[in-house]
Structure 1
Amino acid sequence: MFHNRQNESMLSSFVLPISLVCLFALSALILTFLGSESYKHIKANYDDTAEATVAVSYLSTKVRQNNRENAITVVHRGDGDRLEILEHIGEKAYRTVIYCQDGVLYESTFLDGQPDGLAANAMRVADLDALRVRAEGSGLLKFEVTGKDGAVHAFSQSVVGVGSLEAGDAQ
């Protein structure tokens, strides 16, 4: 009889705490795994949204900086829309082209008329799936920025004067 009570006492003082510790460790591992999966999902969504937000802010700032008569032109091409900005500094004219190609938003600034200036001076701005720009009348630009996650971020900005060209009319 004494031996049975000793076994029960050993069971309650050793096995039960060990099993509770193992249960706690298993629960902690499961929670850590679930938390890491949630974090990865949240981080991926944040990265996609951040890139689109950078593009929206960048485009808005560029339009505000160059809001002059006949400075901004929207060019519609087969491979996507482009925003072209013409700026005169001293005796020279510079053209800035903002476009989306292969999932990346680029800016290229070069001397107006410079051959191969677009490709030679392209700088990455943000990762995007698409950029769509429309000129509504002569005083409004409508932008649609499609992020890597497929979400479309649309905004409009008023301008002094804007031109719109089809691919055959563009330089």
Structure 2
Amino acid sequence: MKRAKNRQKLEEEVFINYEMMKERLYKQYPEIGKQYHYYKVSICKNEKEQEEFELDWKKYLYYLDTAGTFCTFNSFFEDKGLYKSSSYNTEFANEWKQRQFKSHQDNASAEQEKETEEKMNERHIIYFAGVQDAEALKKRYHDLLKIYHPDNQNGEVGTMQQIQQEYEYLKTCLGDKS
């Protein structure tokens, strides 16, 4: 009997402390009161989802109270990984998963573009190494034409095409208009 009273008293103290913290945070950050109402009314579709949301909201408020920095509920929701177990915020969870997937795709394509660019830059060094200006580029190009042009006895079509591509690229990099 005494344990039950102590437990009830402790629960009341925790509730009072929570309510005081909630009131203080709502004054400090008025926008979180609006977020709470939005989630409670618009996002949660049934009582189970509302109970789940209430637990997550308490975690969020305790975080705001102890962290010393402000973040939105969605940021907190994402950072703490609550989307994995949430039943009430499935739209956000799906949106988050799509953003993660798109971000992963963007990173992969950016890496692929970087690798391609690095390969191109390496390739340019092969035939035009040491070229510093448009005049030297043009001179080196004409020298290479004499050696690799397909009309020459030992000319190579593939090599000449590569030289031509490198020349065009470097010409634009060095600002040669001719």
Give the TM-score category using the shorter length: 0.3 to 0.5
Query: What TM-score comes out, normalization by structure 1 length?
Result: 0.33
Query: What TM-score comes out, normalization by structure 2 length?
Result: 0.32
Q: Which structure's relative contact order is higher, taking Cα pairs within 8 Å and 6+ residues apart?
A: 1
Larger radius of gyration: 2
